[in-house]
């Protein structure tokens, strides 16, 4: 079954469309009458211009060249006037078609009005047994509920989108940090291996250092003996 409030809203909407169409039809009729008057005036002006042009040509006693130039100008003017008349006739035909389409649409709306009258009676009964003052207030309350429902759905969708986005960012952060931790663990393992290698090399380097110190001490003793011998030779 159809929703009574929705059906009545459709009824009001159709009534409003009907009023708008009636206004448009009247406007189109007025515009159509104005166009007819303009076209009639243009036809009279064109006939007058043609008469004047013909009289002017007949009175003209100029040379053949001037007559030819005037004739060409008249032909160009007549051609331009014909184009304007064709354009006006096309506009008139288009206006007639639009008027016919509006008339048919008006008839369809008039045929649909009885279908929605039962919903109007239903809403009137609702107003009588409720706290609403009139049908417009019922419709306004219904529209308010629909807006609230739409805003609630939009808010729920927004929160859902934000939650999904936050979850994706958290997964991405976890993945990045996991990769960084794995890299740090690999570097730490390499450093530990290097440290173990260095610690294993310390006794060797210590032995080499003691050997170097011993050789340096021997060379230092020899150097002092040589210095004493040289000093003795000089004396």
Residue 232 maps to a domain: no
Q: What is the pLDDT of residues 95-127, one digit of tens each?
A: 888 888 888 887 787 776 666 566 667 667 777
Residue 205 maps to a domain: no
What is the 8-class DSSP label of residue 63? -
Q: What is the pLDDT of residue 3?
A: 57
Q: What is the pLDDT of residue 168?
A: 92
Q: Return the structure tokens found at 146.
A: 């629909």
Q: What is the pLDDT of residue 91?
A: 86
Q: What is the pLDDT of residue 2?
A: 47
Residue 167 maps to a domain: yes
Q: What is the pLDDT of residue 34?
A: 81
| Domain of 185, in residue numbers | 133-190
Q: Which helix (H) or strand (E) holds 37?
A: helix 4-59
Residue 172 maps to a domain: yes
Residue 160 maps to a domain: yes
Residue 10 maps to a domain: no
> Structurally, how many domains does the chain consist of?
1
Closest among 37, 49, 24, 23 to 92, alpha carbons compared: 37
Q: What is the pLDDT of residue 113?
A: 61
Q: What is the pLDDT of residue 1?
A: 46
pTM: 0.32
SS3 81: helix
Listed as ranges, residues in the chain with pLDDT below 70 are 1-8, 56-67, 112-120, 122-123, 234-235
Asked if residues 132 and 141 have their Cβ atoms less than 8 Å apart, the reply is: yes
Residue 140 maps to a domain: yes
Q: What is the pLDDT of residue 154?
A: 92
Q: Which helix (H) or strand (E) holds 170?
A: helix 135-234
Residue 168 maps to a domain: yes
């Amino acid at each position: 079954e159809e929703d009574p409030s929705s059906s009545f809203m459709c009824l009001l909407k159709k009534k409003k469309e009907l009023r708008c169409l009636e206004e448009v039809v009247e406007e189109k009729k007025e515009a159509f009458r104005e166009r007819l008057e303009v076209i009639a005036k243009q036809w009279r002006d064109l006939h007058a211009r043609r008469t004047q042009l013909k009289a002017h040509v007949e009175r003209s006693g100029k040379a053949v060249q001037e007559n030819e130039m005037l004739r060409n100008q008249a032909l160009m003017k007549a051609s331009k006037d014909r184009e304007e008349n064709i354009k006006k006739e096309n506009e008139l035909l288009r206006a007639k078609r639009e008027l016919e389409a509006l008339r048919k649409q008006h008839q369809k709306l008039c045929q649909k009005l009885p279908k929605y009258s039962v919903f109007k009676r239903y809403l009137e009964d609702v107003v009588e047994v409720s706290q609403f003052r009139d049908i417009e207030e019922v419709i306004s309350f219904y529209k308010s509920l629909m807006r609230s429902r739409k805003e609630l759905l939009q808010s729920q969708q927004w929160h859902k989108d934000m939650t999904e986005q936050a979850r994706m960012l958290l997964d991405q952060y976890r993945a990045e940090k996991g990769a960084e931790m794995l890299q740090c663990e690999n570097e730490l393992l390499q450093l530990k291996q290097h440290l173990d290698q260095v610690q294993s090399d310390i006794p060797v380097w210590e032995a080499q250092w003691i050997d170097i110190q011993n050789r340096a001490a021997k060379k230092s003793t020899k150097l002092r003996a040589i210095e004493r011998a040289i000093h003795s030779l000089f004396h």
